Amino acid sequence: MSLVYMFIADGFEEVEGLTSVDLLRRAGIDVKMVSIMGRKNIEGAHGIRLETDLLLSDLGGDTAGADMLVLPGGMPGTNYLRESAELAGLLKAQYEAGRYVAAICAAPSVLAGLSFLKGRKATSYPGCLDGYELGEYCQEPVVTDGHVITSRGVGTAIPFALTLIEKLEGPQMADKVASSILYSKQYLSGVDYESGR
């Protein structure tokens, strides 16, 4: 069974975080929500409160057993993620080991700040990667380049989560979960991700 840690801070974007957790668990993936706030009770950007599974300190500075580390976006949640030196250390170790790191919305800026996107294709919420060095900014809902996965925002949360499942458990499992929630890629056709129309 794959193991995923999702790092959560006050002000995270609830749809991005919880959609990913929900769909990964539907795929049988062991996904743990990890608070970086020093307490398990977290409040999202839109006032939704939750209790995480773990505290950052519970990991003991080691995520070597994790197949993937995931960062949801949202503000000021992304800023808290960016400011955590302990999280940065975990992300660097994961990245350097060639294991998956994934981020959505504003959170790809955390990866960019650690130089993970140099020479890579990536995406984010519009404007969030401005000023960072990367190979190519893309407007696809989800962009995978090697072991780095990025996505654009709330409206791309489902394809983001399904991509994570596909990378960890294969396309058949991703298709099975998509079918179970009546999700079809045809829903994405004709959508302008810049304007939201």
Digit-coded pLDDT (tens) for 132-187: 999 999 999 999 999 999 999 999 999 999 999 999 999 999 999 999 999 986 55
In the chain, the number of structural domains is 1
In a domain, 153, yes or no: yes
Task: Tell me, yes or no, if 105 is annotated catalytic.
Answer: yes
* pTM of the predicted protein model: 0.93
Closest listed residue to residue 150, CA positions, set 63, 37, 72: 72
In a domain, 196, yes or no: no
- For 62, counting Cβ atoms within 10 Å of its Cβ (0-12 exposed, 13-18 middle, 19+ buried), the class is exposed
Domain span at residue 14 reads 3-185
In a domain, 41, yes or no: yes
In a domain, 113, yes or no: yes
In a domain, 51, yes or no: yes
Report the DSSP beta bridge partners of residue 142. 151
pLDDT per residue as tens digits for the range 60-71: 999 999 999 999
In a domain, 194, yes or no: no
In a domain, 10, yes or no: yes
In a domain, 73, yes or no: yes
Q: Is the peptide bond before 76 cis (omega within 30 degrees of 0)?
A: yes
- CATH code for the domain in which residue 64 is found: 3.40.50.880
Tokens representing residue 133 in the block? 């060095």
Active site residue: 33, 87, 105, 142, which one?
105
